[in-house]
Structure 1
Amino acid sequence: MRESLRTPPALQPDTLRVIPLGGHGDIGRNMSSYEINGELMFIDCGVLFPSEEQPGVDLILPGLHLVEDRLDEVKALVLTHGHED
């Protein structure tokens, strides 16, 4: 089943696909992928700071596993704000 999540179905022309990659339900780690007509764009690329129960962890990054095979196809990264998350 995991493999089917990594390869989403082909999109019809002019159809937008949004994939949340992190931060949904957290404060921090915000990142989303938007795809339309073969163009891939990321919105934000935040980090999450670990809790005290996670010693030795410096940062928690968004999960790119759903798009890791397509990182060379990213056309843009849009940053919506400049604070640390």
Structure 2
Amino acid sequence: MATGETGFDDVTFDLISVQYHSLKAGHDYGQYVRDARNAGEDEIAEFFERVMAEDSARAQQCHAFLARLTRDGTDATSPQGDAG
């Protein structure tokens, strides 16, 4: 796999990025749900809750992929990671 400027392979970096942004968005959506509920817009609040659940599932899937790609904190695509 190609190694990006970070020293991590591109796929690992991409998964970490998606996971981070999904978790960050989920945090923000909590405020959106509260705003909609405070405005009496339950349908919109439910929409934000669905979006939040989708991002949570996305972050969990990234976590599972990262676990598959790494062993003991070592990038599985490195020669050391392939030895185990």
- Band the TM-score falls in, shorter-chain normalisation: under 0.3
**TM-score normalised to the size of structure 2?**
0.27
Tell me the TM-score normalized by structure 1: 0.27
Which has a greater percent of helix?
2
Find the structure with the greater CA-based Rg: 2
